[in-house]
Structure 1
Amino acid sequence: MKGIPMSAGAQGNEELIKRARRVTAAEVYDIGTRFPAVYTEADGSWMTDVEGNRCLDVTAASGALLLGNRNPHVVGAINRYIAEHGVVFASTLSLPRIELAERLCEWFPAGEKAVFTKTGSEATTTAIRLARAASGKDLIVTSGYHGWHDWHTGFLTMGYDAGTRTVTFGYNETALERLLTEFADRIAGVIVTPEPAWFGADYYQRLSALCAKHGVLFIIDEVITSFRYGQHGLNGTGGVPADIITMSKGLANGHAIAAILGKAEVMDCYDAAGIAGTYTREVPPMAAALAVLDVLADGSALANARKQGTTLMNGMRDILDAVGIPAFVGGPPMMFDVVVPSEALSWDLYRAAFDYGAYFEDSGTHMVTTSFTDSDTDHALTAFEKGARKVAATTNFEPGGLSVDRKAEFAAEAFGGNPVDSAEVLAKIDTMVRRIAAGTQA
C-alpha cells in the first residue's frame, strides 16, 4: 500500500542508514549509539531487519515494551477500541481514562488521583509543575535522569541552576539533608529516579522520611521502575512512600502514554499548574494500558520475566568471570546493570554479541520482557558468550574484580551519582548551598 512502506526493496541495512543520514537521522542518537540495522517487524522480543536477519531484543525497546511486541491482549484491545469506539474525542474524559486512573490508584500506594500525558519526559515535567503549584514554592531538588526537557539538562552535574531553579544533589544523602535543613521553605519537591542496582529500597525510604520531616513533597520518577522494580514499583513493592510518582515505559506495552499519580491535594492543583495537551486524551493507549494490567494481574507474567532476567543476569556474570573480564553485575532481574572496565569495552562486547544475533543495550542496562522464554534467554547468553570470548581474546585486563573507582566513574557518567562524601563532593555541597543562598550561578 502506497504511503505505508513495508519493504525496502533491494536496499539493505547499510544503504538505508545512508538514506536516513540524508533526511532524518541524528549522527549520535540514531546511528552512533545503535547497531547497524533497520528493522521491519518484531514479534515477542525478536526483531527482523530489512535483510531478513533475526535478532533478539534484550533492551525491551529501551524499556518501552513490557509484554513484548504483538501481545495478543494489547493488539486486540486497541483494535477493538478503534473499530468500535474511535480514537480521540472533544471531551478530555473517556471511560478508559476513568477506569485506568482507578486501577492505577489501586495498584500503587501513592495514587489517590491520576492524570495522563504521552511521554515520560512530559510526566516528570508535569510532576514538578504540580509540586510547585501545590506548595507555592519554587526550587526543585533532583537526582537522576528525568527526560530531555530544559529544566533537566544538567542532571549529570551536581550543583544549582538558577535559570531553571533546580538543584542536583547527585544521590548524596548529606547534600539532601543539608539542602532540606537550610532551604525547606523554598523547596517545592524532591524528585529521584531509582537506580536499583546501586541503592536499595532502604535508601529511598530514608529520602522519603527526610522529605516528610521537612514538609517537602517527595516524587519518585518510576517511568522505568513502575513494573520492573517489582509488581507495584519502588513505591509499592519497595515500600517507599511518595507524594507523586510518574510512570510510562511498559505501561501500554510500547504505545505512547504516561501517568502521574499522587495525593489528591497535590493532583488537584492541575489547573493551577497550567497543564494541558490535546493528545493526553487519546484513548487507544489507555485501552492498551488496561490490557497490560489485565495480563499482569495474577503475577505469572512478571514471575516469568523475573525468572528469565535472573538466569540472564547470573549467566552474564559467569561468562565475564570465565573470560577474565572484571565486572559488576547487579539490580533487579528485569532491569539490571553490567559494568565493565571501560565504556569502550562495553560497546565492543555488545557490538560483538549483536553479530551473533542479540541486541543488548551498549550502556550496560539490560531488560527482558514477559515474552522471554528459556530458549530466548539461552540464545542471549550464547550470543553474549561468543561475543565476550571474541573480545577477551584481543584485549588485556587487570586481574581481579572491578575497581571501586570504575564503579564510581560509571555512576557519575550514567546518572550523576556522587553518593560518597569525599572532600571534592563536600566542597561541591558548600558551593551549591552558597549559590542558592545568594540566588546566583557563580
Structure 2
Amino acid sequence: MKDFSCPQNMYSLKSRDGRNICFAGGDGCYLFDETGKEYVDLWNGFGSVLLGYNDEDIVKGFNYLISNRALSLQAPTSYLKQLSRLLLEDYPHKSQIGIFPTGTSAVRAATLAALQKTGKDFVLSSGYHGWDVMWSKGTRLFEPNSYGVIDFYYIIEKLEELVHLYKDRVAAVVVSPDFSYFGNAFYGKLFSICKENKLLIIVDDVKCGYRYAWGPSLSPEAFPADIYVVSKCIANGARISCLIGNEDIMKHISDFCFTSFFDIYSTASAVITLKKIKERNVQQKIREAGDRLILGVEQIIKKWGLPISITGNGNLFQFVLASSELSEAFYQQCTDNGIALYKDDNQCPSYAFDDNALRKVLSKFEEVLSSMALMFPGLLGKDIPIKRFHLAAYYQTDGCAEAMDYDEKVSLITELLYR
C-alpha cells in the first residue's frame, strides 16, 4: 500500500522507516497517533493551537451549537459582531474587519486592496505570506515578479534603495513581524521609510499577532500600519483569518466572499478563544512555562556538550544546530521519543503545556540528547558556525537576520535562491 504524500511533506512527522505519521486525536498538549503512541506537542499545527487540544471551553461552545442545531449554520450570527468588537478594541484607529478562510487569502486581499487604492503596480515584501504564487521570487534578485512583488528579505538598506528606484510605482510594504531576529529599532526604521515616502504598510501578523500578548505584535500606537492581518492565535486552530483596516481601504474588498463566509464553527472558535486568552492571561502563562522548558533543555545540551542553541523565548523559539546532519538526527530522535516539533522552524507551546508535561518532555530530551552525544562524538564541545544561525533565521523568517552585514545577507539569499 502506498504511503500518503503531499507536494511538500517536509512538515510531516515521519517514523524511522520513512512513513508519514497519522494522528488519531489530541488532548491538552498531547497528540496520539493511530497506534496510540503519545507525543508532547510543541509544533501545535504551525503554532495555531494556542489553548491546546480538546480545550474545555471550545468543547462546551460546540456542544451548545449542537444542542441549538447551529453547528452547520451558514448565515450571519451574533458571533460575527462579537468577533468584530473583540478585535477592533485593540486597533483604536481602525473601524472594520474582513473575514477570510486563511492568512494567505487575507494577506493577498490586503495587498490587492492597496494596489487598487493607490493605482500603483509594485509591492515591497519581507517574510512568509502563504503558499500563493503572488509571493514567488522574481527572475532576478531584488526585481519584481510577474505580480509586481519585490522581496527585500528584511534588508533595510535594500528597502531604501528599492523605494527610491521605484518611488512612483510602489503602493505598499508588506512585512511579517519576527522578534527572534529583529528588534524595535528595525521596525522603527522600516515604518519611518514608509511614512517618509507615503507608502501603505501592511502588517502580516498571521504568526505573531496575539502570540506574545493580547493584541497585535507591533503596538498600533508606536507602529501604526494601514492594514493588519491576524490568524493563527485567534481561533485555536479553526480556519479563519481577519483583515483589519479603515473604510477607505476595506471598500476595495467589500465584494469579497467565499463559500463558508458565515461559518459559525470558525467565528465561534475565534470568539471563545479570544475571550479566554484575554481573561486568563494566556500568553504570559505560556511564556513562563516555555521559558522553563528552554532553560531545562539548555541545561541538558550543556551537560552533553552538543553544539545546539535556542533562540527566541517561551512563546516562540527555534533550535539552531551545528550541521544539517545533526539537525536531521535531532528531529528524528525527537519524533522517535515522542516529541512533536516543527522541523528547522519555530516551536510554539500551548496554554495546556503544564508542569507535568514539562517534566515528561525534559526526560524525553535527556534521552534524545544523550543518544546524540554517542552518535556525534566529534562534534562535542564544538561551536556552532555563524552560517547556521543565518540559515536558521532564513528558515524562520524567509529573510535575513538584522545582525548580519549587508554583504552576508545578499550572499545568503543568492546562494539559497538564485544559484
Using structure 1 for the length normalisation, give the TM-score: 0.84
Partner of 2:78: 95
The one-letter code matched in structure 1 to 2:50 is: L
Say which SS state the counterpart of residue 351 (structure 2) adopts.
Answer: coil
Q: Are 1:29 and 2:9 an aligned pair?
A: yes
User: Whole-Å Cα distance in 2 between the matches of residues 172 and 218 of structure 1?
Assistant: 16
Q: Are 1:350 and 2:334 an aligned pair?
A: no
Q: Which moved more, 1:140-149 or 1:314-323?
A: 314-323
Contact (CA 8 Å) 2:136, 2:145: kept in 1 or not? no
Q: Aligned-pair distance for 1:117?
A: 0.6
Match of 2:269 among 288, 297, 306: 288
Q: Aligned-pair distance for 1:197?
A: 0.9
User: Whole-Å Cα distance in 2 between the matches of residues 179 and 278 of structure 1?
Assistant: 39
- Give the number of aligned pairs: 407
Q: Are 1:249 and 2:232 an aligned pair?
A: yes
Q: Are 1:309 and 2:290 an aligned pair?
A: yes
The one-letter code matched in structure 2 to 1:417 is: G
Q: Are 1:169 and 2:152 an aligned pair?
A: yes
Q: Are 1:44 and 2:4 an aligned pair?
A: no
User: Whole-Å Cα distance in 1 between the matches of residues 212 and 373 of structure 2?
Assistant: 32
Contact (CA 8 Å) 1:229, 1:332: kept in 2 or not? no
Mark the CA change 1:161 to 1:56 in structure 2 (over 3 Å): closer, same or farther: same
User: Whole-Å Cα distance in 1 between the matches of residues 301 and 218 of structure 2?
Assistant: 33
Q: Which moved more, 1:408-417 or 1:312-321?
A: 408-417
Q: Aligned-pair distance for 1:394?
A: 1.4
Match of 1:329 among 310, 314, 321: 310
Deviations 1:326-357 (A, max 9, x none): 23322232111111112332231122122222
Q: Which moved more, 1:130-139 or 1:102-111?
A: 102-111
Partner of 2:57: 73
Deviations 1:114-165 (A, max 9, x none): 1111111112111111211222222111111111011013399842233111
Q: Aligned-pair distance for 1:78?
A: 2.7
Say which SS state the counterpart of residue 54 (structure 2) adopts.
Answer: coil
Q: Which moved more, 1:304-313 or 1:106-115?
A: 106-115
Contact (CA 8 Å) 1:335, 1:365: kept in 2 or not? yes
Mark the CA change 1:28 to 1:138 in structure 2 (over 3 Å): closer, same or farther: closer
Partner of 1:9: none
Once superposed, what is the RMSD of the aligned Cα atoms? 2.8
Partner of 1:207: 190
User: Whole-Å Cα distance in 2 between the matches of residues 324 and 157 of structure 1?
Assistant: 42
Partner of 1:392: 373
Mark the CA change 1:416 to 1:291 in structure 2 (over 3 Å): closer, same or farther: closer
Partner of 2:417: none
The one-letter code matched in structure 1 to 2:316 is: M
Mark the CA change 1:110 to 1:394 in structure 2 (over 3 Å): closer, same or farther: farther
Partner of 1:338: 319
User: Whole-Å Cα distance in 1 between the matches of residues 361 and 190 of structure 2?
Assistant: 37
Q: Aligned-pair distance for 1:376?
A: 0.7
Q: Which moved more, 1:307-316 or 1:366-375?
A: 307-316
Say which SS state the counterpart of residue 161 (structure 1) adopts.
Answer: coil
Contact (CA 8 Å) 2:14, 2:335: kept in 1 or not? no
Q: Aligned-pair distance for 1:423?
A: 4.0
Match of 2:213 among 230, 251, 273: 230
Partner of 1:60: 44
State the identity as a percent. 24
The one-letter code matched in structure 2 to 1:54 is: E
User: Whole-Å Cα distance in 2 between the matches of residues 322 and 90 of structure 1?
Assistant: 56
Partner of 2:387: 405
User: Whole-Å Cα distance in 1 between the matches of residues 47 and 167 of structure 2?
Assistant: 34
The one-letter code matched in structure 2 to 1:25 is: S
**Gapped regions of structure 2 (runs ≥ 5):** 414-419
Q: Aligned-pair distance for 1:219?
A: 1.3
Partner of 1:11: none
The one-letter code matched in structure 2 to 1:306 is: R
Contact (CA 8 Å) 2:322, 2:383: kept in 1 or not? no
Say which SS state the counterpart of residue 232 (structure 2) adopts.
Answer: coil
Using structure 2 for the length normalisation, give the TM-score: 0.88
User: Whole-Å Cα distance in 1 between the matches of residues 221 and 317 of structure 2?
Assistant: 16
Contact (CA 8 Å) 2:139, 2:145: kept in 1 or not? no
Q: Which moved more, 1:248-257 or 1:93-102?
A: 93-102
Q: Which moved more, 1:385-394 or 1:294-303?
A: 294-303
Q: Which moved more, 1:151-160 or 1:301-310?
A: 151-160
User: Whole-Å Cα distance in 1 between the matches of residues 122 and 13 of structure 2?
Assistant: 34
